[in-house]
A = this chain, B = another copy of it.
Amino acid sequence: MRFSILPSATEPIYRQIIEQVRRQVASGQWPAGTELPSIRNVAQEHAINPMTVSKAYSLLEAEGLLERRRGMGMVIAAIRPAGDPDQRLALLEPTLRDAARQAAQLGLGRAEVIALLRRCLDEATED
């Protein structure tokens, strides 16, 4: 129920938050009705400005993924069904498509690329 935020990353903080919420919802780990940590809490924990968190939450609300419960914080919207596996794969596709394009421009073979992905997957699941 906590965000992992890297202030030094090139990706802006508010977008890091947005992406994490999207993935948590798509993976079914945050079902409809889940209460999000309050803006002030997130801001304090990560020593960032409340406006930055608010911006992320507001955009997610405009997107329909969050609902405001006035005076009571934000919750995951009921509308969204839990993401099925295909939907989750679709979220990953743009990144892999870009990787494939880069591999082609680098003249790399399929086997090499897939072997490298395997290694990265191992690292990522270790954490």
Determine whether the beta carbon of B85 is less than 8 Å from that of A112: yes
- A-side residues, CB < 8 A to B, are 7-8, 12-13, 19-20, 23-24, 26-29, 49, 59, 62-63, 67, 70-71, 85, 88-89, 91-93, 95-108, 110, 112-114, 116-118, 120-121, 123-125, 127
The CA-CA distance from A104 to B125 in the complex, in Å, is: 6
B62 near A88 with CB under 8 A, answer no
- Label chain A's interface by main secondary structure: helix
A47 to B105, CA, bound (A): 23
Give min CB distance, A1 to chain B, whole Å. Answer: 13
Known: A27-B108, A95-B99, A97-B123. 11 other contacts (CB 8 A): A29-B107, A62-B62, A88-B108, A89-B116, A91-B102, A95-B95, A96-B116, A99-B99, A100-B117, A103-B121, A114-B117
